[in-house]
């Protein structure tokens, strides 16, 4: 029998999941409370599948597309679902509303995942009867090319639920990591926010232009980080490895850490400068094409990563 994922919420994240699961042979049911959005999601997902096929990253986009369905109601979406993944707005209230309905209606043996990117499951599942089958499964964007996925159980999530998700994500070719404690922002977004907030801070303070800060990642830090993490990068930056590096530079990291502007709000000026830089690079009406360009670059990286 074909497995089936119900996607509750069919925006950018829902479409990403649809590629991942249809590629793995699952049926995908899109639902969205916004009229027309689920139909649009089928079209957007097809475009992504075709982009993958055209780059040789998928045998048949058409075969995958046959697995995609848009449905009118939540009830129709969850009917026969093997796994349910929620992708609605990032607020505890929205998540709670959806999870209450899902927990009432979905058979007890089906896992309920949430794409929450910052809010832990304990913020919206505590009162649910089936809270032990609720868990955060937070993907990257786009998940079919950036394979990391964060598995974040709440304190009451069953071990079996966690185990199921880790296996499921591996089966659909993603790279799961497991969080042992809930923490706002999880791992990925905390790391991202640390860097992005300091980047906004430096632009706002006039230390460097948005163009130059962007270059610092793409011509500098980001190159190594695409195949090694921060730890191995440090390991190779001192002749006898990380311990030497920590001894030599640890104090400098500590001193700098205290001076960073990561807790400061993004200034209006910094937002405007960054926006100006981005619009000069890519006009708004070319953003969708730029997304496909990004996907093609990621496909090259994925191909290189295999050897």
207 to 246, contacts with its own copies by CB under 8 A? Answer: 207-210, 212-232, 234-243, 246
Interface with its own copies in residues 62-121 (CB under 8 A): 90, 118
CA distance 38 to 253: 47
**What is d(CA 194, CA 197) in angstroms, rounded to the nearest whole number?**
6
Q: How far is the CB of 172 from its own copies (least distance, A)?
A: 14
Query: Near its own copies by CB under 8 A, which window of 64-72, 73-81, 95-103, 295-303?
Result: 295-303
Q: What angle do CA 198, 199, 202 make, to 5 degrees?
A: 85
By the 8 A CB rule, do 69 and 30 touch?
yes
The nearest distance, CB 271 to its own copies, in angstroms, is: 5
Q: Which of 62, 163, 256, 280 binds its own copies (CB under 8 A)?
A: 256
Taking CB under 8 A as the rule, does residue 141 contact its own copies?
yes
C-beta of 1: minimal distance to its own copies in Å?
Answer: 31
Cβ proximity to its own copies: between 42 and 278 the closer is 278
- Residue 159 vs 252, nearer CB to its own copies: 252
Q: Residue 155 CB, nearest distance to its own copies (Å)?
A: 14
Question: Vertex 169, ends 168 and 172: CA angle to 5°?
Answer: 90
DSSP strand E in the chain: where? 4-8, 27-31, 68-70, 83-86, 111-114, 134-139, 148-153, 175-178
Q: Tokens 């639902």 belong to which residue?
A: 31
Phi first, then psi, for residue 214 (nearest 5°) are -60, -45
- Count Cα atoms within 13 angstroms, Cβ side, for 27: 15
- Rounded CA-CA distance 26/100 in Å is 25
The token duo for 282 is 């890519």
Stretch that binds its own copies, among 54-62, 73-81, 153-161, 204-212 (CB under 8 A): 204-212
State how beta strands 27-31 and 68-70 pair: parallel
Q: Specify the stretch interacting with its own copies by CB under 8 A; choose among 27-35, 64-72, 154-162, 252-260.
A: 252-260
Based on CB atoms, which residue is closest to its own copies, 35 or 239? Answer: 239
Q: Which of 56, 109, 159, 252 binds its own copies (CB under 8 A)?
A: 252
173-192 binders of its own copies (CB under 8 A): 175, 177-181, 183-185, 187-192
Q: What residues have CB less than 8 Å from 189, skipping those under 6 apart?
A: 117, 118
Minimum distance from CB of 244 to its own copies (Å)?
Answer: 10
Site for its own copies in 258-287 (CB under 8 A): 258-260, 262-266, 271, 274-275, 277-279, 281-282, 284, 287
Give whichever of 4 and 87 is closer to its own copies, judged by the CB atom.
87
């Amino acid at each position: 029998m074909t497995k089936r994922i119900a996607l509750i919420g069919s925006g950018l994240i829902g479409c990403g999941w649809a590629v991942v699961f249809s590629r793995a042979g699952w049926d995908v049911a899109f639902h969205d409370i916004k009229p027309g959005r689920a139909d649009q999601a089928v079209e957007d997902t097809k475009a992504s599948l075709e982009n993958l096929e055209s780059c040789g990253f998928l045998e048949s986009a058409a075969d995958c597309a046959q697995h995609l369905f848009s449905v009118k109601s939540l009830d129709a979406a969850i009917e026969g679902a093997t796994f349910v993944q929620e992708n609605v707005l990032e607020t505890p209230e929205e998540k709670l509303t959806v999870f209450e309905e899902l927990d009432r209606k979905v058979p007890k043996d089906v896992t309920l995942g949430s794409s929450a990117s910052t809010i832990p499951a304990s913020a919206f599942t505590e009162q649910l009867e089936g809270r032990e089958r609720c868990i955060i499964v937070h993907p990257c964007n786009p998940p079919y090319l950036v394979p990391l996925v964060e598995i974040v159980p709440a304190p009451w999530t069953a071990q079996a639920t966690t185990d199921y998700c880790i296996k499921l994500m591996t089966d659909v070719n993603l790279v799961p990591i497991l969080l042992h404690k809930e923490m706002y922002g999880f791992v990925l977004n905390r790391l991202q926010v640390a860097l992005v907030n300091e980047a906004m801070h430096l632009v706002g303070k006039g230390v460097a232009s948005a163009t130059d800060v962007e270059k610092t990642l793409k011509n500098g830090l980001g190159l190594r980080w695409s195949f090694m993490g921060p730890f191995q990068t440090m390991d190779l930056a001192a002749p006898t490895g990380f311990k030497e590096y920590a001894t030599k530079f640890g104090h400098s990291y500590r001193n700098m850490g205290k001076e960073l502007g990561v807790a400061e709000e993004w200034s209006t000026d910094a937002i405007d400068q960054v926006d100006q830089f981005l619009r000069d690079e890519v006009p708004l009406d070319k953003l969708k094409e730029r997304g496909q360009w990004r996907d093609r670059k990621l496909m090259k990286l994925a191909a290189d990563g295999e050897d």
